[in-house]
Chains A and B, each alone.
Chain A
Amino acid sequence: MTGDGSALHLVLSGDPGLFAIVQLSLLVSLSAVLFAALIGVPVGAFIALTRFPGREGVIVVLNALMGLPPVVVGLAVFLMLSRSGPLGSWGLLFTPQAMVIAQTVLVAPIIAALTRQTIEDLWVEYRDELTAMNVGPARRVATLIWDARFSLVTALLAGFGRAAAEVGAIIIVGGNIDGFTRTMTTAIALETSKGDLPLAVGLGIVLIFIVIVINALAWGARRAGERIAG
């Protein structure tokens, strides 16, 4: 990606460098949200529906983890994945997988905490009926997650927003390698430090636009779904 054109020019000309960066950004953040959901939704549902000692404390901690600073997560994952760290033999440092891992760690608490709140609220509503229908624990969890799916989509979107916007974690574990681990946010950081501010601003606008589009798609899906299922 040459720096002599404006970002708009790059977009309109379908510059392959820009396209690769956008593709990687989406791949990393969407994958992270997916994995974070696979972890966060069951954990959130479990906490919502199970009574155990220290539950209140766990909820407080979970909510607090929503505010994990990305750069701290990046550092922690970096230390784990470095060759001289415990998981060094996996050779994952400075790869897109490391970025996915870091963002998953960042986003999972958000999804878990929001899921917990959503499921708990819905359980309060459904408890009498589901108990009266003698619904077992497994089916109960599945029912709550399914019936709360639209609110859960909102939780996923919140997670995606966090992932797509952050740079601190992925720049540490990814290394911002040209053509390999460079995403929109890390490219913006780089172009800023190279002094190419118009390009950085242009990339920023492209990033915001993409995030808006994704939110609009999710909004549309939610509305359509609500109309069908109520």
Chain B
Amino acid sequence: MIMRAPGSELPVVFADVTIDVGDVTILDKISMFFSPGLPTVLIGPNGAGKTTLLRAAMGLIPVSRGSITWGGRDTPAPARLAIMFQRPVMLRRSAAGNVRYALAAASVARAVREECAADLLALVGLEGLERRPARKLSGGEQQRLALARALARDPAVLFLDEPTASLDPYATKAIEDIVRAVTTRGVKVVMSTHDLGQAKRLAGDIMLLHRGRLIENGPAAEFFARPRSAEAKKFIAGELLV
């Protein structure tokens, strides 16, 4: 895989973004940006809007009010973004078939797809499972396969929605190592997590979301050492935010 120059997709800027679905406001006047560098980690209770924010940043959801720009443009270049959903859907093919499909969708030449797929599967720790029907993999294996599919796009920005939610510690470590590795290669990772420890391990920046609002936003070290908002303090202390 080739190392790309930092994407012209960045910064991804949310300007006063509100997203309503029917009567419900999922995101409420979010203003922030993702810039190149260490991963940005979104934290917050369930239903806070983390998934919606990631999907919106991927360009999958229209905003109701406000605007999102990618590198100053109104629309993203889809080839440079990739997302791994919280509950990924496996295509009815083998594991390698899924990755080859993602490579084909990313316009990778047929001749090299086989090899790239093998490399990616090895990267996420699924070597040996190339021919297994993807739908027959375990939950954790499917999640890793979804990550391989996302990486197949060789993205500039990689969105991960709870990437290690159903993984054992061994697999979790493998994923976190991959996050660090791709970050080193210049990929901007934006991920959500429930695991405060993981946030501490991986984050360059933290965004705390609660009920659709961006409560606090800043460098991770600052956030954990000196949280400013009441919600942040409660959240770090392990209390339920309702």
Contacts and interface: CB of A to CB of B under 8 A. Distances in A.
A–B proximity contact (CB within 8 A): yes
Interface of A: 125-126, 128-129, 131-135, 139, 143, 147-148, 228-230
A229 B93 contact: yes
Nearest to A134: B78
A130 to B, nearest CB: 8
A134 B79 contact: yes
Nearest to B131: A228
Given A128-B60, A128-B85, A229-B133, A133 B153 contact: yes
B93 A132 contact: no
Residue among B60, B78, B83, B105 with max Cβ neighbours from chain A (10 Å): B105
B92 A230 contact: yes
A128 B85 CA distance: 8
Contacts of A135: 105
7 residue pairs, one from A and one from B, having the closest CB atoms: A230-B133, A134-B78, A133-B105, A147-B92, A132-B83, A230-B135, A129-B89
A128 B133 contact: no
Interface in B117-173: 132-136, 149, 153
B88 interface: yes
A133 B93 contact: no
Nearest to A126: B89
A126 B85 contact: no
Interface string B76-104: 00110011010011011110010001101
B58 interface: yes
A230 B92 CA distance: 6
Contacts of B79: 134
A125 B102 CA distance: 16
A134 B108 CA distance: 13
A134 B135 contact: no
A230 B94 contact: yes
Contacts of A143: 91, 101
A129 B145 CA distance: 13
Contacts of A148: 92
Q: Which of A126, A228, A229 has most B Cβ within 10 Å?
A: A229
Contacts of A147: 91-93
B32 interface: no
A125 B89 contact: yes
Nearest to A125: B89
B208 to A, nearest CB: 25
B89 A128 contact: yes
B56 interface: no
A134 B92 CA distance: 18
Contacts of B83: 132
A132 B85 contact: yes
